Structure 1
Amino acid sequence: MSRRSAHRAPAERSPRVLLAKVLLCLGCLVGVSGVGTLAFWTDTATVPTGSFASGTLDVTVNGLLPGQGGSTTLSGLSMSSMVPGESVAANLTIAPAAGTLPLDYYLTATATGTLATDATGLKWTVTQGTAGTAQGSQASGNRSNTCSGTVLASSVALTTGSTTLVGGNTAAQRRDVAAGGSETLCVLVTLPSTAANSLQGANGSATLTVNASQMGAP
């Protein structure tokens, strides 16, 4: 009796199995070939800001001196042939220039000449108010004036150095003036009745300085 060969012919593969394998392979190829080829739509938008502009700090005195710096003469605050006991007053209105920032300020003064710097010479009083009507005459030696309102400085003697008359150089001491607002000061200058005899024929004057800064500055 002959033996059958142990070698078996390979089994025929089912057409369905072959088709499934082909489809799987195609899927692998498609998946590999699609990596990095997808497209995404994009867009950008711009958002411009509004415009910016810096403000301006500009102090005016009696409606004068628009722009940075400058000086003006307080012509009403003068008197010739002054004798002890006489006085003169004038108004000083401090305000921000139109369209500029609100401000803080303080007022200082520096004197020149013997009549203004001698210890018995001219004395300076400042009020938050206005000058009254001048009284008396030079011929009678009794010219005088007054200042209304709250007293900010009283009978201060000036020197060649800077003397603070109103406020001070700190935020708490400076006086506020709102944008569009103003503050009127009355400055009264008196030659006391106790003025020294040596002051006859002497002269003197003073320079007032309005030191302004941005409101709220330290």
Structure 2
Amino acid sequence: MMRHRSKNPRTGRIRALVAVCGVFGLGAVSTLAAWTDDATATATFSSGSIDLRLDGDQGNPDAYQLTSLSVDGMKPGDTTAALLPVQNKGTLPFGYRMTVGASTSNAFSQALTIAVTSGTVSGSGTAAECGGTALMGPTSIATSPVMKRTAAVAAGTSDRLCIEVALPSGADNEAQGQSTDVDLAFEATSQ
């Protein structure tokens, strides 16, 4: 015997709904199996350097000896001058400052004056003088003057300084027979 199925419209609708949900369910599963890809970016960094040299010499830890400026037996009215190239052997530009000081505090060191130009030397010995554009002084070495050069010294170039030290003609008699070292301390700062 054969059974007759009742043609209930509600049952047909339920079956249709189950079929549609199954199709949507299969679609949802297939979206999870999508293609993927990825990528990475890398950037490389390195630091630059500043390397201050005085006439090609490191000047650190031992001071560069500026013998061309040194004088024995100065008398009032004498001047001496020498060129000092401040070089940048690094990879970055820098500005710098120079602080002047004396190794002793006596009548002689207090009488000495210093001037700095960006120029040339004329004359020789105790009659040598600097020419060019004034950067500092003349001023007393005893005051520990400071010269700041904010103009950048580019990598691989140099700033030519002319250093002039004088014992003015009005120097006190007590300055006789004394000596001192004049120290020029340089400090560079990258720009």
Q: TM-score, normalised by structure 1?
A: 0.72
| Structure 1 consecutive aligned stretches of length 4 or more whose deviation exceeds 3 Å | 11-15, 17-23, 31-36
1:38-117 equivalence runs, <5 A = 38=30, 39-65=32-58, 71-97=63-89, 99-113=90-104, 114-117=106-109
Cα displacement string for residues 111-151 of structure 1 (whole angstroms, at most 9, x for unaligned residues): 12325532xx211111111222415xxxxxxx310112101
Evaluate the alpha carbon distance shift between residue 131 and residue 20 of structure 1 in structure 2; reply closer, same or farther with a 3 A threshold: same
Q: How many residues align?
A: 186
Aligned-residue RMSD, C-alpha = 3.0
Query: Which residue in 2 is equivalent to 1:155?
Result: 138
Checking the alignment, whether the CA contact within 8 Å between 1:102 and 1:179 is kept in structure 2 is: yes
**Offset of residue 28 of structure 1:** 4.6
**2: CA distance between counterparts of 1:96 and 1:72?**
16
- Which of 146, 164, 167 is the matching residue for 1:188? 164
Counterpart amino acid of 2:120?
T
| Structure 1 CA distance for aligned equivalents of residues 85 and 174 of structure 2 | 35
Alignment match of 1:128 (pick from 97, 113, 118):
118
Q: Secondary structure at the match of 1:24?
A: helix
Distance 1:33 1:109 in 2: 86
Q: How far off is 1:89 after superposition?
A: 0.8
Bigger share in helix: 2
> Which position in structure 2 is the counterpart of 1:34?
26
Measure how far apart 1:65 and its partner are: 0.8
CA–CA separation in structure 1 for the residues paired with 2:44 and 2:188:
28
In structure 2, the residue matched to 1:138 is: none
Q: Which residue of the partner structure matches residue 181 of structure 2? A: 205
Mapped contact 2:88–2:157 kept (Cα < 8 A): yes
Distance 1:24 1:154 in 2: 102
Deviation at 1:189, TM superposition (A): 0.9
The amino acid across from 2:82 in the alignment is A
Aligned partner of 2:128 in structure 1 is 145
Q: TM-score, normalised by structure 2?
A: 0.81
Bigger Rg over Cα: 1
Give unpaired runs (5+ residues) of structure 2: none
AA matched with 2:176: Q
CA drift at 1:31: 4.0
How many angstroms apart in 2 are the aligned matches of 1:12 and 1:196?
Answer: 136
Within a 5 Å distance, the mapping from 1:164-179 to structure 2 comes to: 164=146, 166-167=147-148, 174-179=150-155
Answer 1 or 2: which has greater strand percent: 2
- For residues 18 and 96 of structure 2, the distance between their equivalents in structure 1, rounded to whole angstroms, comes to 87
CA contact (8 A) 2:108 2:176 kept: no
